[in-house]
Amino acid sequence: MKRKPTLFEAVLPIIIMLLFLSIGFGILKLRPEPLLILSSVFAALITLKLGYSWQEMMDGIQEKISLAMPSILILISIGILIGTWMIAGTIPMLIYYGVQMINPKYILVISFVVAAIIAVVTGTSWGAVGTVGVALIGIATGLEANISATAGAIVAGAFFGDKLSPLSDTTILAPIAAGSELYDHIKHMLWTTIPATILSLIVYFIVGLNVESKTIESPLAQNMIIELEQMFNWNILLLIPPIIILYGTIRRYPTLPVIIISSITAGIIAMIFQKSTIQDVFLSTVSGFNVDMVTKIQVTENDIMPEVLRLVNQGGMEAMTSVVLIAFAAFVFAGIITTSGSLEVIIEALLKVVKRTGDLILATVLSCMTMALVTGNSYLSIIVPGEMYKDTYKMKKLAPKNLSRTLEDSGTVIVPLIPWSSAGVFMAATLGVPTLSYAPWAILCYTGFIFAIILGYTGIGITQLDEEK
């Protein structure tokens, strides 16, 4: 006989999952995928106790994964896109000219803007920080500028791009978890991201006015420029692949075909302008780009600076496997607790407390931040709260893009401010600035969720479910 779970039985699997992740992932540094599977096993035992069969749980898991499959295919195709854009020289050319736009007088503003541009183009905040971020820190050091402020501006700009880029894994995962569309999600984030960006730039501009107007050339930046120029042939036609993506975005064409067309175009450009072989082009779609694939000069990885390698040696479908595995493991857990009716019980209890839209936004923000603090993982801070609150937003007649926006405002951009997170460790080690030192200057990372709460209580920028097509 099947029965409805009590509130304790409903929340217990989630508590166990948080304990597994906080101790296993946060302290013992274990991989999150097995921890999620163990959490799923515990949830399955409770579900069996409630009278549900294993086949019913499998049906629930299959339903969750099938709903996410189109977006997962897009995620995999992003790996293809980055690999082909790299071998074509498209991303390296944008980096090449972007680095040369730096104006030392406005080091903080430029740091934010350049890091944001690179992250939007590449879809990775880590790549932006590990390349132009290092060069910007070198310039700030020569100017005797505030290094912590510069690092904070770089991190904020990088996560601005990571947040709004259609190539970013977290930007793709948020609408998967919430049930919204990718480009609707990106446009809806502008309601919170633009005010946070304006506030950030105002602070950076005022602080930057105190920097003496003197010029300095960063040897690292100059060497990066030289090496990129030696590796690739520049041509205006290298911009065709991103133009295809931009055109497809404006015209609202289906995402997957647009990405594939852009990737095919980039592969053709690589063979024409970079003299790459068709074998290398195909390899870049699977394993990602490698410097051995360019033939302008004979180079090996030992001949190239680590900062440049960190930028160009990326992409490929294989690079997306870890994200896909975490998503699958999380959806297994979500499918089981959904089958047991646990989410309905939690939602019923939540609705007794949540009366206004602002209350629901606030609850989402606190849940995402808790997951981020406990796990230090941006994927889990998006997927788990997204699955928990998806139905609640529908009950409140709120469009799914309200949820996906809040997931990014309080999940994606919070993680680099946490010292024990992988993002926080990487940023601190790469820029040479402790996480807690640059965190106050990464203004966009902690003002986004503040604007999200304000919009929730005022109703500004909140889309009702019946307003969607």
Residue 236 CA to residue 377 CA, distance in Å, equals 39
Quickly state the pLDDT bin for 301 (edges 50, 70, 90): low
pLDDT of residue 233 exceeding 70, the answer is: yes
What whole-number distance in Å separates Cα of residue 2 and Cα of residue 176? 30
What is the Cα–Cα distance from 282 to 267, expressed in whole angstroms?
8
Q: Does 134 score more than 80 pLDDT?
A: no
pLDDT of residue 209: 76
301: its two tokens: 């990885």
Of 22-26, 109-113, 418-422, the least confident = 418-422
Q: What is the pLDDT of residue 300?
A: 62
Model confidence at 214: pLDDT above 70: no
Mean pLDDT of 119-134: 76
Q: Give the pLDDT of residue 302.
A: 66
Q: CA 53 → CA 44, 63, 151, 339, 346, distances in Å?
A: 9, 16, 53, 10, 22
- Domain map of the chain by residue range? 71-320
pLDDT at site 23: 87
Burial (CB count within 10 angstroms: exposed 0-12, middle 13-18, buried 19+), residue 223: middle
pLDDT at 95 over 80: no
- Asked whether residue 362 carries a pLDDT value surpassing 80, the answer given is yes
Quickly state the pLDDT bin for 407 (edges 50, 70, 90). Answer: very high
DSSP code per residue over 397-419: TB-HHHHHHHHIIIIITTGGG-T
Cα–Cα distance measured from residue 10 to residue 61, given in angstroms and rounded to the nearest whole number: 17
Residue 216: the pLDDT is 47
Work out the average pLDDT over 300-326: 77
| Amino acid found at 392 | T
Please tell me the distance from the alpha carbon of residue 429 to that of residue 210, in angstroms, as a whole number: 27
Least confident of 76-80, 118-122, 389-393: 118-122
Residue 68: what residue type?
A: A
pLDDT at 215 over 50: no
Per the DSSP assignment, residues forming a β-bridge with 464 are 398
Long-range contacts, stretch 293-296, CB < 8 angstroms, 24+ apart:
293/87, 294/87, 294/89, 294/231, 294/232, 296/230, 296/231, 296/232, 296/233
Q: What percent of the chain has pLDDT over 70?
A: 91
pLDDT exceeds cutoff 70 at 376? no
Residue-wise pLDDT tens digits, 151-210: 999 999 999 988 888 878 788 888 988 888 888 899 999 999 999 999 999 999 988 777
Query: In this structure, what is the dihedral angle of CA atoms 97, 99, 104, 105, given to the nearest 10 degrees?
Result: 50
pLDDT of residue 325: 83
Q: What is the mean pLDDT of the chain?
A: 84
Handedness of CA 147, 151, 152, 154 (dihedral sign): positive
Mean pLDDT value across residues 279-301: 80
Identity (one letter) of the amino acid at 364? T
The span from the CA of 151 to the CA of 143, in Å, is: 14
Q: What is the pLDDT of residue 441?
A: 94
Instruction: Give 43-91 pLDDT, tens digit per residue.
Output: 999 999 999 999 999 998 888 788 777 767 877 887 888 889 889 998 8
Residue 83 Cα distances to 175, 283, 369, angstroms: 24, 9, 33
The answer, as to whether pTM is greater than 0.75, is no
pLDDT over 90 percentage in the chain = 28
- pLDDT greater than 80 at residue 127: no
Predicted confidence at residue 455, as pLDDT, reads 93
- Of the candidates 90, 83, 100, the residue with the CA atom closest to the CA atom of residue 136: 100
- Burial of 222 by CB count in 10 Å (0-12 exposed, 13-18 middle, 19+ buried)? middle
